[in-house]
């Protein structure tokens, strides 16, 4: 391989070689810009200070596109033996054996994953050492169509309900069609308890707005209602990482936002791309997110009281 086919990226004490940096991962066309592997590397280096706190200590599932968006994709759980030994791994038990997940604890790992054409990172909602106890609860607002108005409305309604329960919440675009509403929890509850609580919150909201919202898992039962999805709140399930790029034309990014931005006219799930998501990151949209999550006991009592 010639020197032009390798880019040496210095990251702290390490040098990471990026193979075929000019390879196009996101073809241009229409309104979508073209982006190369080198562009992906530069983006992840730029957002690393904001992204790493959301990544450290969490097992990952990696969405790789070796030939770009026009080629095949695959989801990678097991860390290949070819990965450098300085990349953190965690052995997670599964039925009949274990899975050796990659953990991204530093910028060098992030650059290496970009070199591997890992476009999207999906994280566990728990951390190594407490894998059975999530410290994040996620509500995925999944619209039935492409209109964003139902998503905007559902986010407001959910935010108001969580406020009544005195639970802090944060908002994130997904880079796809919907939004994620994220609640930091104390890490002292098991996945089953957290998912049951999230389901009861979603059911309460859907019961109050049955013509617009649903918790029906089957698409045929939803009609044109927005789906309040809480299925990610289960052991070994994952959610897209804040600031990760999505494998879609134009390289949209899943971006943390403030609740006030929900009212901006140009706001939408694919509002930010790798061209400008780092600018949004520098505004620190989750500055008000508490560093410690809340226990669910008091919120459960308030929710039960609301449900009668």
pLDDT of residue 8: 97
Residue 188's nearest CA partner among 299, 293, 289, 57 is 293
Note the pLDDT tens digit of each residue in 59-76: 999 999 999 999 999 999
pLDDT of residue 29: 87
Note the pLDDT tens digit of each residue in 80-138: 999 999 999 999 988 889 999 999 999 999 999 999 999 999 999 999 999 999 999 99
Write out the chain in H/E/C secondary structure. CCHHHEEEEEECCEEEEEECCCCEEECCECCECCEEHHHHHHHHHHHHHHHHHHHCCCCEEEEECCCCCCCCCEEECECCCCCCCCCEEEEEEECCEEEEEEECCCHHHHHHHHHCCEEEEEEECCCCCCCCCCCEEEEEEECCCCCCHHHHHHHHHHHHHHHHCCCCCEEEECCCCCEEEEEEECCCCCHHHHHHHHHHHHHHHHHHCCCCEECCCCHHHCCCCEEEECCCCCCCCEEECCCCECCCCCCEECCEECCHHHHCCCCCCCCCECCCHHHHHHCCCCCCCCCCCECCHHHHHHHHHHHC
Q: Which two tokens stand for residue 93?
A: 């038990």
Q: How confident is the model at residue 1 (pLDDT cuts 50, 70, 90)?
A: very low
Distance between CA atoms of residues 5 and 230, nearest Å:
44
pLDDT of residue 30: 87
Distance between CA atoms of residues 289 and 117, nearest Å:
31
Residue 181's nearest CA partner among 155, 206, 204 is 155
Note the pLDDT tens digit of each residue in 233-266: 999 999 999 999 999 999 999 999 999 999 999 9
Q: How confident is the model at residue 308 (pLDDT cuts 50, 70, 90)?
A: confident
Burial class for 166, CB neighbours closer than 10 Å (0-12, 13-18, 19+) = exposed
Q: Give one word for 187, left, alpha or beta, with left for phi > 0 and alpha for psi -120 to 50.
A: left
pTM (whole model) above 0.85: yes
Residue 134's nearest CA partner among 89, 90, 181, 185 is 185
Task: For the chain, give the percent of residues with pLDDT over 70.
Answer: 99
Residue 31's nearest CA partner among 280, 270, 239, 282 is 270
Note the pLDDT tens digit of each residue in 2-50: 456 999 999 999 999 999 999 999 999 888 899 999 999 999 999 999 9
The structural domains of the chain, ordered by start, are 3-124 (3.90.920.10), 136-235+291-307 (3.90.920.10)
Q: Which two tokens stand for residue 218?
A: 């089957």
Distance between CA atoms of residues 207 and 308, nearest Å:
13
Contact between 256 and 286 under an 8 Å Cβ cutoff? The reply is: yes
pLDDT of residue 187: 84
Asked whether the predicted pLDDT for residue 143 surpasses 80, the reply is yes
pLDDT of residue 119: 98
pLDDT of residue 3: 52
């Amino acid at each position: 391989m010639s020197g032009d086919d390798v880019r040496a990226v210095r990251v702290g004490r390490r040098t990471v070689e990026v193979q075929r940096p000019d390879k196009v991962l996101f073809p241009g066309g229409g309104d979508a810009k073209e982006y190369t592997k080198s562009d992906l590397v530069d983006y992840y280096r730029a957002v690393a200070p904001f992204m790493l706190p959301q990544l450290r200590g969490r097992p990952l599932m990696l969405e790789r596109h070796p030939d770009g968006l026009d080629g095949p994709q695959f989801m990678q759980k097991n860390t290949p033996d070819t990965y450098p030994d300085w990349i953190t791994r965690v052995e997670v038990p599964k039925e009949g054996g274990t899975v050796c997940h990659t953990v991204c604890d530093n910028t060098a790992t992030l650059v290496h994953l970009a070199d591997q054409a890992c476009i999207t990172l999906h994280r566990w909602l728990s951390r190594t050492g407490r894998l059975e106890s999530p410290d994040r609860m996620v509500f995925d607002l999944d619209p039935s169509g492409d209109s964003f108005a139902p998503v905007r409305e559902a986010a407001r309604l959910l935010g108001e309900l969580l406020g009544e329960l005195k639970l802090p919440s944060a908002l994130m675009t997904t880079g796809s069609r919907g939004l994620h509403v994220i609640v930091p929890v104390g890490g002292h509850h098991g996945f089953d308890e957290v998912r049951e609580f999230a389901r009861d919150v979603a059911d309460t909201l859907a019961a109050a707005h049955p013509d617009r919202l649903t918790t029906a898992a089957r698409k045929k039962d939803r009609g044109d209602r927005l789906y309040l999805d809480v299925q990610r709140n289960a052991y070994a399930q994952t959610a897209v990482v804040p600031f990760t790029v999505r494998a879609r034309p134009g390289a949209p990014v899943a971006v943390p936002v403030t609740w006030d931005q929900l009212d901006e006219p140009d706001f939408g799930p694919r509002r930010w791309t790798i061209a400008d998501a780092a600018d949004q990151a520098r505004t620190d949209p989750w500055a008000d997110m508490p560093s410690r999550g809340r226990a669910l006991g008091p919120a459960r009592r308030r929710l039960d009281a609301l449900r009668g």
